[in-house]
A and B are shown apart, each in its own frame.
Chain A
C-alpha cells in the first residue's frame, strides 16, 4: 500500500511515518469494519483493510488489489448483491445493501455501503449486523406470537401510539365490524362512525383526556356490528412505558359485554318482578285474612239476631205466646225451619273461618270411638226416624280407643251421618262400620242414597262446592261441611275419602291414627 499512488488521495501528507497520514493509514488498516477503496473505470480495488481481507479470505493485500470490486464482492456476497452495489457505486449518492448473508458463512449478515469519495474512488464499507438482525428477528417473532394470541382471544385488541393513533387492530375487529383492519386503521372517522351516536361524545372525551394525561381508562359504549346492530362493549386501555419511562404505546382490549349487560338487566327486572309478586302475595294474604275476619265477624253478628228469631218463633210455636191457629202454626213452622237452616249456615261459615285462620287447635284425648259413634247415632235417631230411616251400628265388644279431639271428630261424624240420611230417599237405612286396623281406626258411613257423579267426587271436599243431585235443593247445604270435615281429619293426620255410585249410594271412609301426632 505504501507505493500506491491512490493512497495519497486519502490525505495531502502521505509520507510513511508522516504523522497524520500514517495514523490514518493505520486506522484504515485496523478499523473493525471491512473497508475497501475502488478506483478507476473498472472499479478496481486499490486498498483493502485487514478486516476486509479476513472476510474475503485473503492473506495478503495483493491477493485483492487490482481485482474488480464487483467480482470480489460477488465471491463474498453473491453476484446479485455485487451487481446492485457496483451499479449503485456509479451513483453520486451513497448506496446501501442491507442484511446480506456472507456466502462463506450463511449465518453472518452484513450491511454494505458504497460511498463515493472525491474524484474517482469509492469507499466500500461492510458492517456485520448478525447480532442486530438476530435481535430484530426475535422481536418480530415475539410480535407475531403476540398477534397470534391477540387474534385468538375473544376480545378486540388494539395498540395505539402515545398520541392515540391506532397502530394495530386484532382480526376480531374485522370479524365484528366487517371492515378490513387496514381500512379502520387508516380512517379514524370510520372507527368513530361505528360507535353509537349517544356514546360517541363521551368516548371521544375519555379517549382524549386519558391520552393527554397518560392515565389508564375503562369505559362502556356500543359498537355497531357487521349486521348494523349495536352491542355493548367495555374498553380497557393502559399506557405501556418504554425503557426510558416515557409512554411507548397504548394497549387496549374491547370486550363484548352485551349478553352480560342483558343478563344483569334481566336479573334486575326479575328481582323487581319478584318483589312485586311478594308484595302482591302479601296483599293477597292480608286480603285473605281480612276476608276470614270478615266472615267470622259477620257470622258472629248474624248469629245473635238469628238465634233471637229462633227463640221468638219457637215461643209462638210452643205456646209461650198463647194459642196459635193451626194455619198459623204451619207458617211459623216454615219460618222456624228456615231460621234453623240459616243458623246452620252461619255455624258452618264460622267453623270454616276458624279453621282457615288457623284458630282451631286440637285437644286430643284417648277416646272410645265406638261409644262416640253410638252417641251420635242415638242423638240423630229421632231425625232418622222421621224419614223412616235407621242408622245401623254395632259397637265392637272391646273398646276401640284412639287419641282424637272428641268434640271435633264428633262434629265430623254428625255431619257425615246427617248427610248420609239427608241424601238418601226415605226408608233407606244408613250403616256405620268401625274397623280396627293396625295403627288406625277406620270408620265407614255407608248409605244407599243418590250417590255422587264421578266428575263431582274431586270437588266434594272443596270449599263452597255444591254438587247437584236429586236431593241437593231439598237439603240446601252450605257446601262447606265436607271441607271443614276434611280439614279436621287432616289435622289429625288422618284421611277421608268417598266411594260412590250414582243412584246406588256412597261410602265415606275416615282413617284416624290411634296415636295422636297432632
Chain B
C-alpha cells in the first residue's frame, strides 16, 4: 500500500499520548506526518507545509479546533486540504460548527481502531479523479 509520493497528514491533538499513537500508526502506513499540540501550533505548521489532510481535535488549550478553522481559512489558502474533525461525543454542537467551517468529515476519537483510522485517512487522501 506504500504510495509513490507520500501524502502529508497534520495531526492537531493536545494529548501527547494520542498524538504519538496517531503519528506511529500513520508513519507506518507511509504518510508524512506533522503534528501540533493546539490550533496556534497548527497555524505555524501551515506556514511551512500544505498537508493533504488535517486530523483536528476540537478541545485544545490556547486555540481550539473551531478557531483554528476560522483563522486558517483553508478554502482560500489550502484548497486541497481536507479536515477530519476528530473529537468526543460530548461536543456535538462544536462538531456541527466544524462541519460548517469546512471540516470534511467528523469522527469519534474513541470509536476507531488504528487500522480503521489508517483506512479512513488513506481513503480520504487517495488520488481520486476530479468529480469522483
One of B21, B90, B92, B110 near A312 (C-beta < 8 A): B21
Give the docked Cα–Cα distance between A347 and B96 (Å).
Answer: 19
**Closest CB in chain A relative to B85 CB, distance in Å:** 13
One of B15, B17, B114 near A320 (C-beta < 8 A): B114
Q: Does B49 belong to the interface (CB within 8 Å)?
A: no
Query: Which positions 82-101 of chain B face chain A at CB distance < 8 Å?
Result: 88-90, 92-93, 96
Q: Does A311 belong to the interface (CB within 8 Å)?
A: yes
- Tell me the nearest residue of chain B to A308, going by C-beta: B17
Q: Does A450 belong to the interface (CB within 8 Å)?
A: no
Q: Does B36 belong to the interface (CB within 8 Å)?
A: no
Contact B114 A347 (CB under 8 A): no
Give the docked Cα–Cα distance between A405 and B15 (Å).
Answer: 31
Q: Does A88 belong to the interface (CB within 8 Å)?
A: no
Query: Which positions 339-386 of chain A face chain B at CB distance < 8 Å?
Result: 343, 346-347, 350-351, 354, 361, 363
Contact B114 A306 (CB under 8 A): no
Give the docked Cα–Cα distance between A311 and B88 (Å).
Answer: 15
Contact A308 B113 (CB under 8 A): no
Interface of A is mostly: helix
Q: Does B105 belong to the interface (CB within 8 Å)?
A: no
Q: Does B37 belong to the interface (CB within 8 Å)?
A: no
Give the docked Cα–Cα distance between A300 and B90 (Å).
Answer: 9
- Assess A320 versus B25: contact at CB under 8 Å? Given A304-B18, A308-B17: yes
Q: Does B109 belong to the interface (CB within 8 Å)?
A: yes
1/0 per position for A289-317, CB-CB distance to B under 8 A?
00000001000100111111011101101
Contact A311 B114 (CB under 8 A): yes
Contact B92 A305 (CB under 8 A): no
Specify which chain B residues have a CB less than 8 angstroms from the CB of A305 in the assembled complex.
17
- Number of A interface residues at 8 Å Cβ cutoff, please give it: 26
Q: Does A20 belong to the interface (CB within 8 Å)?
A: no
Give the docked Cα–Cα distance between A350 and B110 (Å).
Answer: 13
One of A304, A314, A350 near B115 (C-beta < 8 A): A314
- Tell me the nearest residue of chain B to A359, going by C-beta: B90
- Tell me the nearest residue of chain B to A316, going by C-beta: B114
Q: Does B28 belong to the interface (CB within 8 Å)?
A: yes
- Tell me the nearest residue of chain B to A408, going by C-beta: B92
Q: Does A318 belong to the interface (CB within 8 Å)?
A: yes
Specify which chain B residues have a CB less than 8 angstroms from the CB of A300 in the assembled complex.
88, 90
- Tell me the nearest residue of chain A to B59, going by C-beta: A300
Contact B89 A311 (CB under 8 A): no
**Closest CB in chain A relative to B41 CB, distance in Å:** 18
Give the docked Cα–Cα distance between A307 and B88 (Å).
Answer: 10
- Tell me the nearest residue of chain B to A350, going by C-beta: B90
Q: Does B24 belong to the interface (CB within 8 Å)?
A: yes
Give the docked Cα–Cα distance between A253 and B28 (Å).
Answer: 103
Contact A307 B90 (CB under 8 A): no
Contact A363 B90 (CB under 8 A): no
Contact A320 B109 (CB under 8 A): no
- Tell me the nearest residue of chain A to B92, going by C-beta: A407
- Assess A354 versus B110: contact at CB under 8 Å? Given A308-B21, A315-B21, A320-B24: no
Specify which chain B residues have a CB less than 8 angstroms from the CB of A363 in the assembled complex.
93, 96
One of A308, A351, A354 near B18 (C-beta < 8 A): A308
Give the docked Cα–Cα distance between A311 and B25 (Å).
Answer: 9
**Closest CB in chain A relative to B87 CB, distance in Å:** 11
Contact B110 A318 (CB under 8 A): no
- Assess A318 versus B113: contact at CB under 8 Å? Given A350-B90, A407-B92: yes
Give the docked Cα–Cα distance between A347 and B87 (Å).
Answer: 12
**Closest CB in chain B relative to A298 CB, distance in Å:** 13
Query: Which positions 407-423 of chain A face chain B at CB distance < 8 Å?
Result: 407-408
Give the docked Cα–Cα distance between A408 and B17 (Å).
Answer: 30
Give the docked Cα–Cα distance between A361 and B15 (Å).
Answer: 28
Give the docked Cα–Cα distance between A157 and B114 (Å).
Answer: 98
Give the docked Cα–Cα distance between A351 and B92 (Å).
Answer: 11
Specify which chain A residues have a CB less than 8 angstroms from the CB of B28 in the assembled complex.
320
- Tell me the nearest residue of chain B to A296, going by C-beta: B90
Specify which chain A residues have a CB less than 8 angstroms from the CB of B96 in the assembled complex.
363
1/0 per position for A306-342, CB-CB distance to B under 8 A?
1110111011011010000000000000000000000
Give the docked Cα–Cα distance between A473 and B110 (Å).
Answer: 23
Give the docked Cα–Cα distance between A317 and B115 (Å).
Answer: 10
Specify which chain A residues have a CB less than 8 angstroms from the CB of B110 in the assembled complex.
303, 306-307, 310, 343, 346-347
Give the docked Cα–Cα distance between A375 and B3 (Å).
Answer: 32
Pull 14 A–B residue pairs with CB atoms less than 8 Å apart, ordered by A: A296-B90, A300-B90, A305-B17, A308-B15, A308-B18, A310-B110, A310-B113, A311-B22, A314-B113, A314-B114, A315-B114, A318-B113, A347-B89, A351-B90
Apart from A304-B15, A307-B109, A407-B92, list 8 A-B contacts with CB within 8 A.
A304-B17, A311-B18, A314-B115, A315-B114, A318-B113, A320-B28, A346-B110, A350-B88
**7 cross-chain pairs, A with B, having the tightest CB-CB distances, nearest first:** A311-B21, A308-B17, A314-B113, A314-B114, A318-B115, A343-B110, A307-B110
